[in-house]
Amino acid sequence: MARAIRIGTDPRVEALDVKDFDVSTFIFVLLLTITGFAAIYSATYAAQMNDRFSQQLLFGAVGVAILIITALVPVRWLSVAAYPIYLLSLGFLVLVLVKGEVVYNQKNWLGLFGGLRFQPSEIAKLGTIMAVGKFLSGDRKLTRPFDFAVACGIIVLPIALIMLEPDPGSAMVYVGLLFIVLLWAGTDIFLLLTVVGSALVALFSLFGKTPMLASVLIIGGMLFFFFRKNLITTSVAFMLLIGAAFSADFIYNHMHPYQRERIDLLLNPEMDPLGGGYNIIQTKMAIGSGGLLGKGYLQGTQTQLRFVPKQWTDFIMSVPAEEFGFVGALIILLLYIFLIYRSLAIASSVRSNFSSVVAIGITGIWFLHVFVNIGMTLGVFPVVGIPLPFMSYGGSALITNMLMAGILMNLYRNRRVMF
Does a structural domain hold residue 176?
Answer: no
| DSSP H/E element including 265 | helix 257-267
| Residue 107 pLDDT | 72
DSSP per-residue string spanning 183-242: HHTT--HHHHHHHHHHHHHHHHHTT-HHHHHHHHHHHHHHHHHHH---HHHHHHHHHHHH
DSSP per-residue string spanning 311-322: TTTTTTTHHHHH
C-alpha atoms less than 13 angstroms from C-alpha of 352 in its C-beta half-sphere? 26
| Residue 7 pLDDT | 38
Distance, in Å, from the CA atom of 396 to the CA atom of 399, rounded to the nearest integer, reads 6
Strand partners, 110: 118
332/122: higher pLDDT: 332
255/154: higher pLDDT: 154
User: How does 37-61 read in b/e, with b if 16+ C-beta sit within 10 Å?
Assistant: bbbbbbbbeeeeeeebbeebeebbe
Does a structural domain hold residue 237?
Answer: no
Helix (H, G, I), strand (E, B) or coil at 13: coil
Helix (H, G, I), strand (E, B) or coil at 297: coil
Distance, in Å, from the CA atom of 370 to the CA atom of 389, rounded to the nearest integer, reads 7
Does a structural domain hold residue 244?
Answer: no
| Residue 148 pLDDT | 82
User: Quick check: 366 pLDDT over 80?
Assistant: yes
Strand partners, 117: 111
| Residue 311 pLDDT | 77
Specify which of 9-13, 152-156, 256-260, 398-402 reaches the highest per-range mean pLDDT: 398-402
Distance, in Å, from the CA atom of 18 to the CA atom of 5, rounded to the nearest integer, reads 7
Q: Is 21 exposed, middle or buried (0-12, 13-18, 19+ CB in 10 A)?
A: middle
Does a structural domain hold residue 249?
Answer: no
Q: What is the DSSP letter of 262?
A: H
| Residue 89 pLDDT | 92
Distance, in Å, from the CA atom of 413 to the CA atom of 72, rounded to the nearest integer, reads 8
Domain that holds residue 294: 4-166+266-413
User: Quick check: 41 pLDDT over 50?
Assistant: yes
| Residue 342 pLDDT | 95
Pick from 313, 307, 298: nearest CA to 55: 313
| Residue 260 pLDDT | 65
User: Quick check: 346 pLDDT over 80?
Assistant: yes
* Average pLDDT score over the chain: 81
Does a structural domain hold residue 232?
Answer: no
pLDDT in tens, 369-408: 999 888 888 877 777 778 999 999 988 899 999 999 999 9
Q: What values do phi and psi take at 17, rounded to 5?
A: -90, 120
Could you tell me the pLDDT band of residue 1, with boundaries at 50, 70 and 90?
Answer: very low
Does a structural domain hold residue 209?
Answer: no
| Residue 345 pLDDT | 94
Does a structural domain hold residue 11?
Answer: yes
Does a structural domain hold residue 145?
Answer: yes
| Residue 406 pLDDT | 96
CA dihedral 201, 206, 211, 214 (to 10 degrees): 20
Strand partners, 103: 106
The predicted model scores a pTM of 0.82
Strand partners, 101: 109
Q: Domain tally for the chain?
A: 1
| Residue 329 pLDDT | 92
User: Quick check: 302 pLDDT over 80?
Assistant: no
pLDDT in tens, 232-291: 888 888 888 888 887 766 766 666 666 566 566 555 555 555 555 566 677 777 777 778
| Residue 116 pLDDT | 72
Distance, in Å, from the CA atom of 340 to the CA atom of 25, rounded to the nearest integer, reads 9
C-alpha atoms less than 13 angstroms from C-alpha of 264 in its C-beta half-sphere? 15
| Residue 298 pLDDT | 83
CA 352-411-136 angle, 5° bins: 35
